Amino acid sequence: MANKELQYQEDEIDLRQLMCILLASKKLIVVTTVIITLLAGIYAFTKTPVYGASALVEIGKYKTHKDTISLDSAPKLANKLNVVFASSTTDNGTNRGTITEISASAVNTHINITAQALSNEAAAQKINELVNFIKTGHQQDLDKIKRQRELEIQNSINNIDRKINKIIDHNLSKVETNIEHFFSIELASIDRKIDFIKKTQLPDLTLKIRLFTQRIEKAEETLKQNYQNLKALESTPVLAFLRLTEIQFLENEIFEHRNRIIDLKTTKSELSITQLKDLEDVKTKLMQIKLPQLESEKTLIENDLQTLVSEIELLLLEEHHYKNSAIVGEVATSDTPIKPKKELIIAVAFIAGLMLSTFLVFLLNAFKRPEDEKAAA
């Protein structure tokens, strides 16, 4: 039992003894820690500072009449650039700058780029070089897409031009011919008939009625005189018979003239009331029904032409909807270098020096000979 207690006491760590060992070697600990900390400080303050820059790049795109299409996806572009610029991530030219990260942003149309160099200008220049590389490749894609799109647009415009020419040569020309025929033939024919009735037939009938009326008046005057002279000729039967014959002729003439006037008035009434009214009605119907139909048909054709012209204008406007990749805003830089981190280096060196010196003290103490310990005691 006593042996076990002795063994247990030997296995226990004597903290007081450890503190004595550390205090006995405090100079070594302080000197070692200070030297390591000073060396770390010298390194931190003499190390050439490295500056960082970052940029958000929007991937190029182009717009069609339906939607907007990106030239590349952000993850795919980031992976490709990481492969192409993998060698630049090794520090083989810090003076010129190195690309440290190329990653896709949360938005699938942007990528993040970070670079390091001995100055902000060099880091920004490195990012600009990468962006120019992206823009060169995407510009080639845009030129190819633009040429293809221009060819498609030109083909579409040619097809629309053919439709326009067909509409103008057939539909529009036909309706314009019909309108011209309406005015020059149909309407003009009715106007000529109306003018002929108003300016020729009706005045002619009026004149004939007046002439026959004058003849009746003249015949009645002659008839009156003959009746007056008939009494004076009663003694002369032959002359009386001749006068009676003349009177009979005049009465027949007056009767015929009156019948003729009735016929002329009937004809005049038919012309002015029936034929003229019918012609006016036909003209009114043509002006109110047929002409609006022709004009409406022409308007529809012109609207179709304007729609086709608008389609051409929209196709031509699409040529401007192309955008190459570019930095959003400006390259972000900071006046504070990212390397070396002086405070961190000195703090880590101090802790490491303290730990190393403590370990060294315990190591030296472990290899001391018993006589040295007695001498020290």
Residue-wise pLDDT for 34-65, tens only, equals: 888 888 787 777 777 888 888 999 888 888 76
Cα distance between residue 351 and residue 368, in whole Å: 26
Write the pLDDT tens digit of every residue in 166-203. 888 888 888 888 888 878 888 888 888 888 888 888 88
Taking residues 128-141, what's their average pLDDT? 90
Residue 28 has pLDDT above 90, yes or no: no
Domain ranges of the chain: 154-319
pLDDT band at 159 (very low <50, low <70, confident <90, very high): very high
Q: What does pTM read for this prediction?
A: 0.53
Q: What is the crossing angle of helices 26-46 and 342-366, to 10°?
A: 150
User: For position 47, what pLDDT does the model report?
Assistant: 75
Whether the Cβ atoms of residue 29 and residue 356 lie closer than 8 Å to each other:
no
Kindly report, residue by residue over 200-252, the tens digit of the pLDDT. 888 898 998 899 899 888 888 887 777 776 666 665 666 666 767 777 887 88
Look-up: residue for tokens 């490491």?
352
pLDDT attached to residue 77: 87
Buried b / exposed e over 344-356, threshold 16 CB at 10 Å, is ebbeebbeebbee
269-323: pLDDT as tens digits: 888 888 888 888 888 888 888 888 888 888 998 899 899 898 888 877 766 678 8
Per-residue pLDDT, 368? 67
Strands, sheet with 68-70, edge to edge from the N-terminal-most edge strand = 68-70, 61-63, 322-323
Which H or E element spans position 333?
A: strand 332-333
Q: What is the pLDDT of residues 314-361, one digit of tens each?
A: 877 766 678 888 888 888 888 777 777 778 878 888 888 888 878 887
- Position 2 scores a pLDDT of 46
* pLDDT score recorded for residue 112: 92
